[in-house]
Structures are given as C-alpha cells and as structure tokens.
Amino acid sequence: MFSLLMITSIVFLISFVVMGLASILSKKTIIDREKNSPFECGFDPKVNSRLPFSLQFYLIGIIFLIFDIEIALLLPMILSFKISNISIWMWTSIIFLLILIIGLFHEWYQGALNWTV
C-alpha cells in the first residue's frame, strides 16, 4: 500500500514539475493579426459566441466524422481477414460496405454533400 502511494505521489510530482517548466519556458506570443482573424468556420473570435451559424458547415462536419469513424472500423476488418472464417468475413464486409454506400447515396440525394455558399 505504501509503495503504491509513493509511486502515485512521484508521478504527480513529476507531472506537475513538467507542466510548470513547460509554462515557464514556453514561448509567449503577442496577440497578432492572424490569431484575431475569423476561424475556418467564419466565426469572429471577439464577438458573442451565441450567433447563428451555417447549417451546411455543421452537416459537412458531422458527415465527415461519421465516415471517418467508418474508416476506422474498416481497417481492423482488413487485418482480421487471415484469422477469420472467409465466408463469415465476406458477408460481414459486404453488409458493412453496403450500409456505408447506402448512407453515402442517401446523403448525396438529400443534398447534404452539395456545397453551396
């Protein structure tokens, strides 16, 4: 019990020392024009944060996240090919890819992928 408490306190001490050194030695920058410019989404950082925003920008972001997660699920399927039953792996992959393709066509036909400014 004592050794676990000692190790935990040492870990916290080291992390606080590293964070303190990083804040002391970090480069302090003066506010420049680039940091005060609007973000990629068009928000001005110095104005009220409760402004209406573009729904199209939000939809594109959500669609990107969904398909990004799907790619992260596809990669382990490729790696598990050698250790899986081929017929079960094939049917699982086909169903998964069909769901992805149907979702993509649905978003396309709904017009969510059309970028109109």
Q: Where are the domains of the chain?
A: 1-110
Tell me which of 2.60.40.1180, 3.40.190.10, 1.20.58.1610, 1.10.3720.10 is the CATH number of domain 1-110: 1.20.58.1610
Rounded to an integer, the average pLDDT of 28-51 is 63
pTM score > 0.85 for this model? no
Mean predicted confidence (pLDDT) in 47-52 = 66
Instruction: For 75-116, write each residue's pLDDT tens digit.
Output: 888 888 888 888 998 998 899 889 888 988 888 888 777 765
Place of tokens 């799907």: 70
| Percentage, residues of the chain above pLDDT 90 | 16
| DSSP string for 7-64 | HHHHHHHHHHHHHHHHHHHSPP----HHHHS--TT---TTS-S-----HHHHHHHHHH
- Report the pLDDT value the prediction gives residue 77, as an integer from 0 to 100: 84
Looking at the chain, the whole-number percentage of residues with pLDDT higher than 70 is 73
> Could you read off the pLDDT of 33-44 as tens digits, one per residue?
666 666 655 566
Comparing 95 with 49, the larger pLDDT belongs to 95
* Orientation angle between helical segments 86-110 and 55-79, nearest 10 degrees: 170
Measured in residues, the chain has a length of 117
pLDDT at 12 over 90: yes
Q: Cα 44 vs. chain centroid, distance in angstroms? A: 23
| Model pLDDT, residue 16 | 95
